Amino acid sequence: MKFVVTATNASLSPAHDISESELQIPMRDGHSSTIKIRKPVSPPKTGSPLIVIAFGGGWIAEDRHQMAQEARALVRLFDAVVVNISYRLAPEHKFPIGQQDAWNTLVWLAAHAGEIGADPTQGFVVGGTSAGAAAAAVCARQAQVEPLAYPLTGQWLNVPSLMDESQVPEKWKHLYLSMQHNKDALVLPVSDLEIMAKQTGWDMALPWRSPLSSTHSFTGLPKTYFQVDGMDCLRDDGLLYEELLKEGGVETKLDFYAGCPHAHTTFLPGTEVARKCLVDLVRGFGWMLGQDVSGEAAVRALGLL
């Protein structure tokens, strides 16, 4: 394995207290996928948790450089090894290539954790934003079918795309309203979802796209932290999935941002509500990792002072 320290621009330059490198790892079909690894320069003797983050962008845009600020904060707060993954994008690479890339990457990381300085027995969390959250959710379900070298201990689902109306249990259908309420939202109107579905060729009936399509019980899934935006057509995906997990005995935590559009930290950067979401995010990771993080510590780690 060959590590290469990268710094493509000032905003991506490695921080003095964090080691940043990239590594190419093999996928199932011979493709090499590049992952971004961040870890403490001085790792703890007790071992570093492993955190795996998938970027958002509707499976048609963005890359592993997304969420650098959040990743660095997680390294600082938890002495974690944080990996921002890559996956191939549509329309060149149709469903389920990207989702399977995410799974292959998670399998590789679990098997090779020690080689990158991580100890998943100290915590093993997968998560992401929007499409990345959906990838994280289906990977957590796939781990029920094909156990990883180490069990997941948490999943972070930020504004996830998880279901369509046909999959919603009958008793919840009257509450699945965000596709109507926020049909014409300024960020991610339903028409944009339809374009993404056409470009990617996704199929909600298959487990690679929706965690509701798995035949396994929700029981046994790891602790799950949700972040949900109120003016998002995907609002009820997060709210209802949390209810389903709670029914299955899964421990959950949810932060809700009323009046905020989809992925508002991206589209409303610097606002008070975006800052709150970032602080909540790192504190939510603390909850999953069994550590209580103060708001002040979160602000310092994120560089929001």
- pLDDT (0 to 100) of residue 7: 31
CB atoms within 10 A of CB 44: 13
Domain ranges of the chain: 10-302
Which parts of 61-189 fold into alpha helices (H)? 68-78, 97-111, 131-145, 178-181
Short-list 55, 95, 127, CA closest to 207: 95
Contact 164, 237 (CB under 8 A): no
Map residue 136 onto helix, strand or coil. Answer: helix
Give, for all 305 residues of the chain, the pLDDT tens digit: 333 333 333 344 557 889 999 999 999 999 999 999 999 999 999 999 999 999 999 999 999 999 999 999 999 999 999 999 999 999 999 999 999 999 999 999 999 999 999 999 999 999 999 999 999 999 999 999 999 999 999 999 999 999 999 999 999 999 999 999 999 999 999 999 999 999 999 999 999 999 999 999 999 999 999 999 999 999 999 999 999 999 999 999 999 999 999 999 999 999 999 999 999 999 999 999 999 999 999 999 999 98
CA distances (Å), origin 41, targets 22, 64, 192:
15, 21, 42
CATH class of the domain whose range is 10-302: alpha beta
Burial (CB count <10 Å: 0-12, 13-18, 19+), residue 180:
exposed
**The whole model's pTM is what?**
0.95
Measure the CA angle with vertex 57, ends 53 and 58; round to 5°.
115
